[in-house]
Amino acid sequence: MHTKIKELLQFGTVDAKVEIKGWIRTKRINKQVVFLTINDGSCQQNLQVVMTPSELPKTLLNQLITGASVAVSGSLVASKGTKQSVEVHGHHLTLLGNAPDYPLQPKAHSLECLRTWVHLRFRTNTFGAVFRIRHAISYAIHHFFHERGFFYLHTPIITAADAEGSGALFRVTSLDAPPTHPDGNVDPREDFFNQPTHLTVSGQLAAEAAAMGLGAVYTFGPTFRAENSNTSRHLAEFWMVEPEVAFNNLDDTIVLAEALLKFLLDYVLKNCPAELDFLNQRLLNDRNEQDSTEPMPLLERLPFVLAHPFARITYTEALAILMDAEPNKKGKFVYPITGWGMDLQSEHERYLVEHHFKRPVVVTDYPKEIKAFYMRQNNDGQTVAAMDVLFPGIGEIIGGSQREERMDYLKAVVQRTYIQNLNWYLDTRRFGTIPHSGFGLGLDRFVLFVTGMENIRDVIPFPRTPGHVPC
Ligand code: 4AD
Ligand code: MG
C-alpha cells in the first residue's frame, strides 16, 4: 500500500519503510545521486526522492523525466536539504507511465498557455492550489448549511421555466432538426418533453417551493447562461449556491450572506495555508511595486475582508456616490452615470468597493425594472427588496432578495413580463404563502477572490465560454 505525500509529511516517522506514487516534477542527476521531486496531488508540497544512479538501468534513468509517473519504495529519512524536513531514500523504483514530449516543463508557463492544456494543468503548482481550495470551499459550504439545519436540495438541470426571466437560455432538445410549423416556427410538442425546455439558469424557483415545506434549503450545482459575455467574470456553465429560507426578510438574508462568506474565508485560511502561501507568493512575484493601484497582497486581503463588517447602502445612495465620483466627473467610466434607473456595471461596483468603502459592500433596494420578476416590491412602488454583495477585484459575487409573496403583485409582474410555465410557482403563493428570502453565490467568482486569480477560466476545471469548449 502506498502512502499519500501529505500523510508522510504530516505523520511520517523517520526510518519507516514507505511507498509513494506520483508524477515527476523535476530531476537532477550527478554521478553519485539522482534527485527526483515527486508530487501526487494530495498537497502543495513535493517529496524529494534520492537514489543512486548505479541502481537504476540506463534506459529507465533516461525515462525519468518531468511528467512521467512512478512508484518508489524506500525509507523516510531526515533531509539534509533546507527545502524539506524529510525525503525518501529510494530502494526500488517502477516507471508506471512514460511521458515523452510532455508539454509542461518545469518552468513558469503563462496562464493563457495553460488554458490550451486544461486537461494537463491540474499537474501544476498553481492549478493544484486552486482546485484544492475550490474543493475546500465546496466542502465548507455543505458544512455551513448542514450545521444551521438547512437541507441540501437537488434542483433540476433541465427546466421549462426561465427563472431569471432574462432569456439567456440553452435549449434542450432530443431532435436533430426540430420539426417546424408551416409558418416556420419550431413545434416543441414533437420534442422529447412535448414542450420547450432548457438548461437551468438558477435553481431558485424550485428551492422556493421546497423551502415552503422544508423551511430552509440550499441548492448547489451547475447553472447555465447563454449570455454572450466574454469577460474574465463570466462563464456559460458556472456553479451557484442558492439558499432559500422561509420567514426570512431581506435583512436576515444579508446577515446570512455575510456569515456564509466569512465562514468560507475563515475555513480556507485555516485549512489551506500552503496553497494560500503559494498563491500569495505567485502574486507577489508579479507585483509592480511602483504601481500604487496594486491590491493588497492575498494574505492581507483575505483576513482584512474577514475582519471588517460589510458596508451597506441603497442603490439610490450608491448612485449618488457614483455620480459624484472622480472617474465619473473626468469621463473615465466606460459607462457614465446617466441617472436613477440605470444598471450598475462592474466598473461602478468595483469603484464603490475598492475606492469608496474599501471593503465589501451590500447594495439594496434596486429599481424594479432592472431586477428579476420574483423580487418583492417595496412600498415606494419603484424599488424591490433586492441585495447584491460586491467584492474587491470582482464586483457582484452574490445576488439575492426577499421574494414577492403577495399573489396579486406577483401575478401582475408575471403577466407584464410574459413569463411562461409558472403556474406551479404561483401555487406556492396560493397555498399558505409566507415571506421568504434567499440569494445566489457564484462559486467560481468566490474562488477567484480567494485564490487571487484574475480570470474565471482559471478557477473552474473545464471552462465553457462563448465559442469555446476545450474538452
Ligand atoms: O444575480 P444572479 O443572476 O441571481 C440569481 O440567479 C438568483 N436566482 C439567485 C437567488 O436569489 N437564488 O446570479 C447570482 C450569482 C452572481 O452574483 C454571480 O456571482 C454568479 O451568480 N453569476 C455568474 N458567475 C459566473 N458566470 C456567469 N455568467 C454568472 N452569472 C451569475
Ligand atoms: Mg445578479
In eight-state DSSP terms, residue 364 is E
Q: Can you tell me the distance from the alpha carbon of 325 to that of 356, in angstroms, rounded to the nearest whole number?
A: 9
Q: Tens digits of per-residue pLDDT, 84-140? A: 789 999 999 999 999 999 999 888 889 999 999 999 999 999 999 999 999 999 999
Q: Are 265 and 446 in contact (CB under 8 A)?
A: no
Contact 309, 275 (CB under 8 A): no
Ligand 1 probe mutation, 141, 153, 240, 444, most atoms within 8 A of CB: 240
Judged by its nearest atom, the ligand closest to the C-alpha of residue 225 is: 1
Q: What is the mean pLDDT of residues 191-198?
A: 92
Residue of 268, 238, 271, 242 lying closest to 137 (CA atoms): 268
Question: Which ligand ends up closest to the CA of 163?
Answer: 1
Atom of ligand 1 lying closest to residue 207 CA: 12
Amino acid at 304: F
Average pLDDT across the chain, whole number = 94
Index of the ligand 1 atom closest to the CA of residue 388: 17
Average pLDDT over residues 4-19: 93
Name the residue at shortest CA distance from atom 2 of ligand 1: 399
Distance 323 CA to ligand 1 centre (A): 26
Mean pLDDT of 385-399: 97
User: Residue 23 Cα, ligand 2 centroid: separation in angstroms?
Assistant: 42
What secondary structure letter does DSSP report for 350? H
What pLDDT is attached to residue 326?
96
Could you read off the pLDDT of 267-318 as tens digits, one per residue?
Answer: 999 999 999 999 999 999 888 767 767 788 999 999 999 999 999 999 999 9
Q: Is the pLDDT of residue 320 over 80?
A: yes
Residue 179 has pLDDT above 80, yes or no: no
- DSSP secondary structure letter of residue 375: B
| Letter string b/e over residues 351-384, b meaning 16 or more CB atoms within 10 A of that residue's CB | bbbbebbebbbbbbbbbbeebbbbbbbbeeeebb
Nearest CA to ligand 1 atom 23: 442
Considering only CA atoms, which residue is closest to atom 28 of ligand 1? Answer: 234
User: Tens of pLDDT along 18-54?
Assistant: 999 999 999 999 989 999 999 999 999 999 999 999 8
Instruction: Inform me whether the pLDDT recorded for 186 exceeds 80.
Output: no
- How high is the pLDDT of residue 190? 86
C-alpha to C-alpha distance for 278 and 360, rounded to whole angstroms = 25
Interval between CA 88 and ligand 1 midpoint (Å): 47
Q: 403: which residues sit within 8 A by CB, 6+ positions away? A: 208, 374, 375, 376, 435, 436, 437, 438
Average pLDDT over residues 323-334: 96
As a whole number of angstroms, the distance between CA 134 and CA 121 comes to 15
Mutate to test the pocket of ligand 1, among 137, 238, 397 (most ligand atoms within 8 A of CB): 238
Q: Which atom of ligand 1 has the smallest separation from the CA of 438?
A: 11
**According to the model, what pLDDT value does residue 274 have?**
97
- Give, in order, the Cα–Cα distances in Å from 329 to each of 243, 292, 325, 333, 379: 39, 21, 6, 9, 33
CA of 303 to the centre of ligand 2 (A): 26
Q: What nine digits make up the cell of 70? A: 512512478
- pLDDT band of residue 418 (cuts 50, 70, 90) is confident
Looking at residue 292, what is its pLDDT? 66
Nearest CA to ligand 1 atom 15: 442
Q: Which of 328, 438, 446, 435 is nearest to 397 (CA)?
A: 446
Cα 409 to ligand 2 centre (Å): 21
Using CB distances shorter than 6 Å, the residues near ligand 1 are 163-164, 202, 204, 225, 227, 234-235, 238, 240, 242, 396-400, 438-440, 442, 444-445
Band of residue 166 on the pLDDT scale cut at 50, 70, 90: confident
